[in-house]
A and B are shown apart, each in its own frame.
Chain A
Amino acid sequence: MRIERDIIYIILAFIVLMVVVPWTAGQLSDQIFFNWPFFFEVAIGGLLSGVMYSLIALGFVLIFKASGVFNFSQGAIVLFAALTLVGLHGLGLPMWLAIVATMGVMFLLAVSIERLVLSKLVNQEPIILFMATIGIAYFLDGFGQTLWGSEVKVLSLGISEAPGFYFDGQILINDFDLFAAGIAAVMVVGLSIFFQYTRIGRALRAVADDHQAALSVGIPLKHIWIIVWTVAGLVGLVAGMMWGSKMGVQFALSLIALKALPVLILGGFTSVPGAIIGGLIIGAGEKLAEVFLAPMIGGGIEEWFAYMLALLFLVFRPQGLFGEKIIERV
């Protein structure tokens, strides 16, 4: 199995790189205090924040897998879901009821996106659909803030932000990050089971493989799209809850989608595990670079480092680590 071997080599090379570069950086400059526990603390913190990126990338992957649409509006969906949740909670609903109600809203959103936009754009070129999702993103950004206002809102899930977990007396890990990682793990397992073992999951995979063939064996494309957008909406809701309780529910949530894009191309557009692994690599790489590399070249490299890292991977595997290899014929 050549492909698996390639991937393992690439990931190993990455890990070596991520250890060697900070280590040499630490040796070269005096300002940085380099020791292994600190290194692992940063690395683990990065891995856990990478999980948060994966949560958003998952929504992209689901829609791309099932409909081939590059869904730029996932960030806006995250913001919209979080705003709706906080808004409904603010109206006096208890949290669990607000979550259920928001799920309902996400379903309605999926139905209206399918009815009003996607069904009218069947058979258009991918770039047109991509632009349409940017239009949806603008609309949702405006709509959510028109409904619920644009001030920063607090979303509390009742998990402490305090550093709670010590390992070996030296490495410190945030409780909240661990919780987020747990949620992400549950979601990936859940989605994998859903895709692998349920009737709808099989239909989704059939549509992803071949629209026409799926239609001809009687799979209703319309329903499939509604289901996929609903699932993406629910994933967005979870991501919105996590990010919202971390940094407050505000417009900036919508921009986090830009953080998820490198994760996406690194993992491959069509792979759920790819989104997770990509998130871990990007998260760890970004944090390590920010702590150990950035002081040497001016700081603030978080904005682009993830993209450059992903670009580096793409040069070797143009479809991402786990993306389907496209075989082109003339």
Chain B
Amino acid sequence: MIYREAGVYKTTYRADHAIFTIPQDRWSMIGIFAIAFLLIPAVGSEYWLGAIMLPFLILALAALGLNILTGYCGQLSLGTGGFMATGAFSAYKLATSFPDMHIVLVIFGAGLIAAAVGILFGIPSLRIKGFYLAVATLASQFFLIWMFDKFGWFTNYSASGVISAPPMTIFGDVFITGPEASLVAKYMFTLSVVVLLALVAKNLVRSNIGREWRAVRDMDIAAEIIGIPMLRTKLKAFAVSSFFCGVAGALWAFLYTGSVEPLAFDVNRSFQVLFMIIIGGLGSIMGAFLGAAFIILLPILLNNLPTMLGLNIRTDMISHMEYMIFGALIVFFLIVEPHGLARLWSLLKEKLRLWPFPH
């Protein structure tokens, strides 16, 4: 009754093309932005900002990238970790080779390099489809991690193979990487990047590029017959997706952990991000965020549950139990809602349209 499209009159094309056409949606988005930009940095504790919000935002960005490739373009990929590693290591090489380079340029430059690598590994997708492609993308995952591990050039010949982010500033004197950076500054920077890229993604998927992706996902032969260039469409999806993953990897290495080794982006990271988009909802921007929140919070909850309940279990037992519960919950979620959390969200919106009347 209150929340609905009917009665919202649009007088300009601009208004007609708005992302959120319903006023309540706009207001709630403004509310979410206000909470994210103002409230959380003001009241968030060190633990919340550093150990929950930062990884949540960064992995949500990676999930966004994978969702573009898998959810919108239908190309199942298990190479996310490799592309994140590419972003992280190229950001490191850029930052150390050109010390005067601005951090924003470093992060987005790393994204561009990852996009180029993504295009390279996307080429087989023209021949290979479905699960064959998924396994084939594992080749990129293992190869890239091996490469960063093996060749000293990527780590500037550090003995341990670990890269550490050099201290970098934004606006002249605000440190956002390195030991002097405050968590609030890191959080604000990450949040800005993620919000910006999420807007880009939202607009991409509702533009003609996004429609091409969806046509390819739904049936690629039919898409080709109606004149969608298969090569360019698929490679575009790989490029955009790896750009997002690369930026996420660079943020992970520079802002979240500060120093990182290739193993941080191993195949488990790829699976983690894949879990996020499946649980969150394939083909949904909102879903990437919901899924990331779920996958980040669940292990933390499981970890603290025994202490909260006052149970005394051995640590190795806890980690095995975590595996069990995690696996069982994944299966449970798939059975209850195979289309992910985003589907619950749209169901809720359907209900809201009628509320408070039953019909």
Interface residues of A (CB under 8 A from B): 70, 116-117, 120-121, 124-128, 130-132, 134-143, 145-146, 150, 258, 261-262, 264-265, 269, 298-301, 303-304, 307-308, 310-311, 314-315, 318-320, 328-330
B322: chain A residues at CB < 8 Å are 142
On whether the beta carbons of A314 and B127 are closer than 8 Å, the reply is: yes
| CB-based contact A136/B143 at 8 Å | no
Minimum C-beta distance from A239 to chain B (A): 19
Contact of A139 among B124, B149, B222, B328 (CB under 8 A): B328
Q: What's the nearest-Cβ distance from chain B to residue A163, in Å? A: 30
Complex Cα spacing A131 to B132, Å: 15
In the complex, whether B106 has a CB less than 8 A from a CB of chain A is no
Known: A143-B324, A258-B138. 13 other contacts (CB 8 A): A121-B335, A128-B338, A131-B274, A137-B327, A139-B328, A142-B323, A142-B324, A142-B325, A145-B320, A262-B135, A269-B131, A300-B150, A318-B132
With A265-B132, A311-B124 as known contacts, state yes or no: A146 contacts B324, CB within 8 Å.
yes
Selected contact of B128 from candidates A116, A298, A300, A314, CB within 8 Å: A314
Q: Could you say which residues of chain B place their CB within 8 Å of the CB of A262?
A: 135, 139
B219 within 8 A of partner (CB): yes
Q: With A298-B151, A328-B221 as given contacts, are A310 and B323 in contact (CB-CB < 8 Å)? A: no
A interface, by DSSP: helix, strand, loop or mixed? helix
Q: Contact at A121–B338, with CB atoms within 8 Å? A: yes
Listed by A's residue number, 12 A-B pairs whose Cβ atoms lie within 8 Å are A127-B76, A134-B330, A135-B329, A135-B331, A142-B323, A150-B316, A261-B135, A304-B143, A307-B139, A307-B143, A310-B135, A329-B221
B154 CB contacts on chain A under 8 angstroms: none
- Please report which residues of chain B, range 290-331, place their CB below 8 angstroms from some CB of chain A when the two chains form the complex: 316-317, 320-331
> Which residues of chain B from 96 to 141 have any CB-CB distance to chain A below 8 Å in the complex?
124, 127-132, 134-136, 138-139
With A and B bound together, what is the CA distance between A300 and B221 in angstroms? 40
Decide: A310 and B136 in contact? CB cutoff 8 A. yes
Assembled-state Cα–Cα distance A113/B219 (Å)? 31
Closest to A263 in B: B135
Q: How far is the CA of A137 from the CA of B338 in the complex (A)?
A: 18
Partner of B139, one of A264, A269, A298, A311: A311
Interface-centre pick from B131, B143, B317 (highest chain A CB count, 10 A): B131
A223 to B177 alpha-carbon distance, docked (Å): 58
A320 to B317, CA, bound (A): 41
Across the interface, do B278 and A131 meet the contact criterion of CB distance under 8 Å?
yes
With A127-B282, A311-B136, A319-B132: A330-B225 Cβ-Cβ less than 8 Å: yes
Known: A128-B278, A128-B334, A146-B321. A134 touches B271 (CB 8 A): yes
Tell which of B76, B149, B320, B331 touches A132, judged by Cβ atoms closer than 8 Å: B331
Per CB-CB distance, the 10 closest pairs between chain A and chain B, nearest first, are A142-B323, A138-B327, A139-B327, A135-B330, A142-B324, A307-B139, A304-B142, A135-B331, A304-B143, A146-B320
Contact indicator B150/A138 (Cβ below 8 Å):
no
Partner of A131, one of B127, B130, B135, B275: B275
Partner of A146, one of B139, B143, B317: B317
Asked if B267 CB lies within 8 Å of chain A CBs, one says yes
A61–B249 CA distance with the chains assembled, in angstroms: 35
B350 to chain A, nearest CB (A): 22
User: In the docked arrangement, what's the CA distance between A139 and B328, Å?
Assistant: 6
Q: How far is the CB of B226 from chain A (nearest CB, A)?
A: 10
CB distance from A321 to the nearest CB of B (A): 12
Which of B138, B151, B327 touches A307 (beta carbons < 8 Å)? B138
A140 contacts B327, C-beta separation under 8 Å: yes
